[in-house]
Amino acid sequence: MRAVGWRSLTGHREREVLVVVTETTEHDTLTPKWDVALEALLTEEYDERGMEMRVADFQRLAREYGIRFDDIVNTLFRMCIEGVWCYRDGAGRERPITQEDYDRLFLKGRTGEEDMVEYDGGWYPVRREAPDP
């Protein structure tokens, strides 16, 4: 795995996303660790809002764009594990999202809104200054 660097998917420097890939020798290709289109959507939404995003925001985006909620959560957790996004709990404390958190959340396959109950805080990209809770 290696970080390729910040890349703009929309042509705007302020909407750059960190591209993290894994290298495979089998086909000599680079595979993103998460959905970079969803990353761009979440980052753009964060930039427009200027505040932490909540589960309700991800639910709205899923409905608005016809995206599965669990695909958004999958991308969000992967970005947190890699240190690209961060989670702050409902009490305002930063809480790392770990592989164990991810595994527990996706234990039964797809995850739903009810599985996110314990995540009552906010999410934000770490390369930007964290907003006040």
pLDDT of residue 14: 53
Q: Tell me the residue type at 117.
A: V
The CA-based dihedral angle spanning residues 87, 91, 92, 95, taken in that order and rounded to the nearest 10 degrees = -30
d(C-alpha 38, C-alpha 44), whole Å: 10
Average pLDDT, the chain: 82
Residue 122 DSSP SS3: strand
- Record the pTM: 0.72
Identify which of 87, 96, 68 has the alpha carbon closest to the alpha carbon of residue 125: 87
Its sign, for the CA torsion 37, 40, 43, 48, is negative
Tens digit of pLDDT for each residue in 97-109? 999 999 999 888 8
Tens digit of pLDDT for each residue in 36-90? 999 999 999 999 999 999 999 999 999 999 999 999 999 999 999 999 999 999 9
d(C-alpha 96, C-alpha 112), whole Å: 21
d(C-alpha 5, C-alpha 20), whole Å: 7
